[in-house]
């Protein structure tokens, strides 16, 4: 179990919890622009006898507009504190927060599209800048401790689901083990280091899943797969033709120069990652239990991806 070092100093009003601010409205905007309920969305009022709503197409923008704020928390080991961005769906108190971390030698901006998209479906998302993902300073365990310190500031008791790309996937997995209230963990082409992930895998007692790219040097030949094999009851899918940079959104030359390695159709790959990641987040946070269909063989959404060759089991 990871120890947590938390030093809370003078956080300004507005820099704290997603879940404790009062919403300005009580329902999504009633227009047909982004932020409206897409066709087929379940009605806002149901009874216990109503059948569950079918899974949505989570590749499209969800029903909420999103407020985006940049903040700094004076916690953890980072000089000057941890910079982070909050994505908060307007009009509701999000029932859960996703802590989404970037990869090695990267920044939170490269998780921005995933974060905003997930938030349009009704979860809060926080994207921090990790302090120890540099060439001369790589410390996955300290990153995990810093994330747990940040969680104490931004969550304020709201349940957290952990997620991350590459080294950020490893740091958030370690944080998951250190968070007794964690809802789950989603790895986006997670890369293990010195078997840290494999070693803690048996201690992960919450739902966990991996979306993996093809084997390349940048994901150390899919070395995230053994991590999830060590986690009881976890799941993993390979996105056909995906390289390491496909799990950023947006990405840039800094990744594609070194980590481009597959010739998959970029639009197909992006849509698969977008739909599956959004579905998993909504399923495991309880926002949309029917989103499990995207991960379940024998259902429309999963079978469509499988039949098209967009995904495969490792």
76: left (phi over 0), alpha (psi -120 to 50) or beta: left
The residue count of the chain comes to: 314
Q: What is the pLDDT of residues 257-305, one digit of tens each?
A: 988 766 678 899 999 999 999 999 999 999 999 999 999 999 999 999 9
CA distance 249 to 113: 5
Contacts of 81 (CB under 8 A, 6+ apart): 72, 73, 74, 75
Element (H, E) at 150: helix 140-154
| Token couple for 198 | 């494999």
pTM of the predicted model as reported, rounded to 2 decimal places:
0.83
Own/partner contacts of 248-251, CB < 8 Å, gap of 24 or more, are 248/102, 248/103, 248/106, 248/110, 248/111, 248/165, 249/110, 249/111, 249/112, 249/113, 249/114, 249/273, 249/274, 250/109, 250/110, 250/112, 250/113, 251/110
Residue 108 has pLDDT above 50, yes or no: yes
Closest listed residue to residue 188, CA positions, set 236, 226, 253, 147: 236
134 pLDDT above the threshold of 90: no
Torsion of CA 203, 138, 183, 116, to 10 degrees: -160
Mean pLDDT throughout 120-149?
A: 93
Residue 49, pLDDT score: 52
Across the chain, mean pLDDT equals 85
Domains for the chain: give ranges and CATH numbers: 66-312 (3.40.50.1820)
CB-CB contact of 246 with 239 (8 Å): yes
Average pLDDT on 104-126 reads 96
Instruction: Report how far residue 205's alpha carbon sits from residue 6's, in angstroms, rounded to the nearest whole number.
Output: 24
Per-position DSSP letters for 227-283, written without gaps between them: HHHTSTT-EEEEETT--GGGGSSS--HHHHHHH------HHHHHHHHHHHHHHHHHH
Task: Give yes or no for residue 27 having a pLDDT over 50.
Answer: no
The counts of H helices and E strands in the chain are 8, 11
Looking at residue 258, its pLDDT comes to 84
């Amino acid at each position: 179990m990871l120890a947590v070092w938390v030093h809370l100093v003078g956080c300004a009003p507005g820099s704290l919890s997603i879940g404790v601010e009062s919403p300005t409205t009580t329902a999504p905007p009633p227009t047909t622009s982004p932020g409206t309920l897409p066709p087929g969305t379940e009605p806002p009022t149901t009874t216990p006898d109503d059948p569950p709503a079918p899974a949505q197409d989570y590749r499209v923008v969800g029903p909420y507009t999103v407020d985006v704020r940049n903040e700094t928390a004076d916690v953890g080991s980072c000089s000057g504190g941890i910079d982070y961005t909050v994505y908060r769906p307007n009009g509701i108190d999000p029932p859960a927060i996703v802590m989404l971390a970037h990869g090695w030698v990267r920044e939170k901006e490269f998780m921005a599209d995933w974060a905003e998209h997930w938030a349009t479906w009704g979860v809060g998302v926080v994207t921090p800048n990790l302090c120890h993902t540099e060439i001369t300073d790589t410390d996955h365990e300290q990153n995990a401790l810093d994330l747990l310190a940040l969680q104490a500031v931004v969550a304020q008791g709201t349940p957290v689901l952990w997620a991350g790309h590459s080294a950020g996937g490893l740091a958030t997995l370690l944080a998951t083990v250190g968070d007794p209230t964690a809802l789950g963990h989603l790895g986006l082409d997670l890369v293990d280091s010195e078997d840290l992930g494999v070693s803690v895998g048996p201690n992960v007692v919450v739902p966990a899943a991996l979306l993996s790219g093809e084997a390349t040097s940048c994901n150390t030949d899919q070395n995230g797969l053994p991590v999830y094999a060590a986690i009881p009851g976890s799941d993993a899918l390979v996105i056909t033709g995906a390289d390491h940079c496909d799990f950023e959104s947006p990405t840039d030359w800094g990744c594609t120069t070194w980590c481009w390695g597959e010739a998959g159709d970029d639009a197909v790959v992006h849509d698969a990652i977008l739909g599956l990641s959004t579905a998993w987040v909504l399923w495991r946070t309880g926002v949309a239990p029917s989103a499990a269909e995207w991960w379940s063989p024998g259902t429309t959404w999963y079978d469509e991806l499988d039949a098209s060759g967009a995904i495969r089991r490792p």
